[in-house]
């Protein structure tokens, strides 16, 4: 398993860091109020895009966690508390095309749980699980539809909750597909399910000003979300608060206001160019901006393919983890590169005075379906076989599924961040 590891400890009562293998530095714990309140591409991917070698970077050893000998000058009154660990996973584009929402048999309801049954063991154990829900969940009154203007049955939301997702992003380029009333209807759905926090859409300026902070294991994780476009469908001029757009002036104000109130700050970014494995200049400029505002984590999506991740230096001396694109999670796209996505995994440690990421990486996943767009299922890459590849429905469009090429692509894009096994099985092992 390839992972990135970080270790950081501050001198208690002083602002000077003592660090070893510092990948990035996170701020000390703060206090806060807690609210948990088809583009069907028919051209096969050129073989040269599905090649590449792993950089072969191995993680260096990490010093033991906990208090270092001689670190504190004052006498200890009692042993410091042991570290708490918080796990955070994030999935990419959950993009439901019309072939995925065929009417169920009479007197039955839509059932989507089976799509995620094999990936559930990677999601349900997490303390926090994020997903980019690409499409509206506005209900049947708006008509169920796929590309180009999507609306997905609300039963999909039920399935996401049953899998374990509890943070749902709706700041996407498809959020205005059915108009503002559909956005409000989507919020109605989630407001009736308070166990999940939704991001990027707001009923009022007051709601937008409320901070989304989730506290687990004594760690406060703050979330914000933005989209760089809405496919030319404007947000109502009299409701500029409705959708969180990528306006840097507004973003700076919201990020800077949230930053002191959480231990760890994650920003969801719907950005980039579709089907491009390389982040563009606009993504790089935005990631620099986010680092300047002391963001800890960027969860990127929209390109529908995997993009690399990067540790970007912050002006304050720390580093921001940026996952530029997690690719597709579930979709009916047919272009070969859109079938390979990733599930982000972080293990965050909190001691008496620090919060740091101990492990960070991506678990590759495959979107599978068979002839006539049936049998949709998300597979962990390690469980996907040549026999399944031979049954993949994209072959009907003349595409091939080359598992060796997929693995090479994942290694080239992810390098040392590639996680090949379920980290929840191995996380307690040394």
Nearest to 91 by CA among 264, 283, 306: 306
- Is it true that the peptide bond before 306 is cis, omega within 30 degrees of 0? no
* Biggest alpha carbon–alpha carbon distance for the chain: 73
33 in Cβ contact with 392 (< 8 Å): no
**Domains of the chain by start residue, with CATH:** 8-37+82-426 (3.60.21.10)
355 in Cβ contact with 29 (< 8 Å): yes
Phi and psi for 313 in degrees, rounded to 5?
A: -60, 140
Q: How far is CA 424 from CA 62, 124, 367, 371, 383, in A?
A: 19, 10, 21, 33, 16
The pLDDT value recorded for residue 233 is: 98
178 in Cβ contact with 149 (< 8 Å): yes
What's the pLDDT tens digit per position in 148-207?
999 999 999 999 999 999 999 999 999 999 999 999 999 999 999 999 999 999 999 999
Phi-psi region of 80 (alpha: psi -120 to 50; beta: other; left: phi over 0): beta
Over the chain, what is the mean pLDDT?
A: 84
End-to-end Cα distance, the chain:
13
What's the pLDDT tens digit per position in 21-79?
334 334 444 433 333 333 334 333 344 443 333 333 333 333 333 332 322 233 334 44
Question: Which residue would you say has higher pLDDT here, 225 or 16?
Answer: 225
Give residue 315's pLDDT band: very low, low, confident or very high (50, 70, 90).
very high
Nearest to 32 by CA among 264, 270, 244: 264
- Please report the sign of the dihedral spanned by the C-alpha atoms of residue 399, residue 39, residue 191, residue 217: positive
Q: How far is CA 264 from CA 223, 253, 346, in A?
A: 9, 17, 12
Read off the tokens for 363: 């678990």
Give residue 84's pLDDT band: very low, low, confident or very high (50, 70, 90).
confident
Nearest to 345 by CA among 365, 324, 359: 359
Distance separating alpha carbons of residues 349 and 314, to the nearest angstrom: 20
3-state secondary structure of 116: helix
Angle ∠(205,207,209) on CA atoms, nearest 5:
70
- Please report the sign of the dihedral spanned by the C-alpha atoms of residue 163, residue 102, residue 375, residue 92: negative
Q: For the residues 390-402, what does the mean pLDDT come to?
A: 93
Percent above pLDDT 70 for the chain: 80
The pLDDT value recorded for residue 63 is: 34
Read off the tokens for 266: 């994650």
């Amino acid at each position: 398993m390839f992972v990135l590891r970080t270790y950081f400890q501050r001198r208690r009562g002083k602002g000077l860091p003592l660090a070893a293998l510092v990948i990035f530095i996170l701020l000390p714990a703060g206090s806060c109020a807690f609210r948990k309140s088809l583009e069907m591409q028919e051209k096969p991917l050129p073989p040269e895009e599905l090649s590449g070698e792993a950089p072969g970077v191995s993680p260096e050893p990490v010093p033991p966690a906990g208090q270092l000998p001689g670190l504190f000058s004052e006498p200890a009154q009692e042993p410091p508390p042991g570290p708490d660990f918080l796990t955070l996973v994030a999935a990419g584009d959950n993009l439901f095309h019309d072939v995925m929402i065929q009417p169920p048999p009479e007197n039955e309801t839509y059932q989507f749980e089976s799509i995620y049954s094999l990936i559930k063991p990677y999601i349900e154990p997490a303390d926090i699980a994020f997903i980019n829900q690409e499409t509206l969940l506005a209900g049947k009154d708006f008509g169920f539809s796929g590309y180009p203007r999507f609306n997905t049955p609300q039963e999909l939301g039920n399935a996401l909750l049953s899998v374990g997702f509890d943070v749902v992003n709706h700041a996407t380029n498809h959020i205005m597909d059915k108009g503002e009333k559909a956005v409000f209807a989507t919020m109605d759905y989630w407001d009736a399910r308070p166990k999940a926090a939704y991001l990027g859409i707001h009923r009022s300026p007051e709601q937008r000003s409320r901070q989304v902070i989730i506290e687990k294991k004594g760690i406060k994780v703050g979330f914000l979300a933005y989209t760089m476009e809405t496919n030319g469908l404007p947000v109502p001029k009299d409701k500029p608060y409705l959708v969180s757009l990528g306006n840097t002036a507004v973003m700076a104000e919201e990020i800077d206001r949230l930053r002191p109130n959480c231990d760890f700050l994650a920003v969801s970014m719907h950005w980039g160019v579709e089907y491009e494995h390389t982040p563009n200049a606009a993504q790089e400029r935005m990631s620099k901006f986010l680092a300047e505002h002391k963001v800890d984590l960027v969860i990127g999506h929209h390109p529908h393919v995997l993009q690399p991740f990067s540790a970007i230096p912050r002006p304050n001396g720390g580093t921001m983890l940026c996952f530029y694109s997690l690719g597709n999670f579930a979709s009916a796209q047919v272009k070969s590169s859109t079938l390979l996505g990733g599930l982000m995994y972080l293990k965050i440690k909190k001691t008496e005075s620090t919060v740091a990421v101990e492990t960070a990486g991506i678990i590759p996943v495959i979107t599978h379906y068979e002839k006539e767009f049936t049998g949709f299922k998300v597979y962990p890459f390690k469980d996907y076989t040549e026999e399944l590849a031979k049954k993949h429905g994209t072959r009907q469009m003349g595409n091939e599924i080359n598992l060796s090429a997929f693995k090479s692509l994942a290694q080239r894009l992810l390098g040392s961040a590639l996680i090949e096994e379920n980290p929840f099985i191995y996380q307690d092992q040394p």
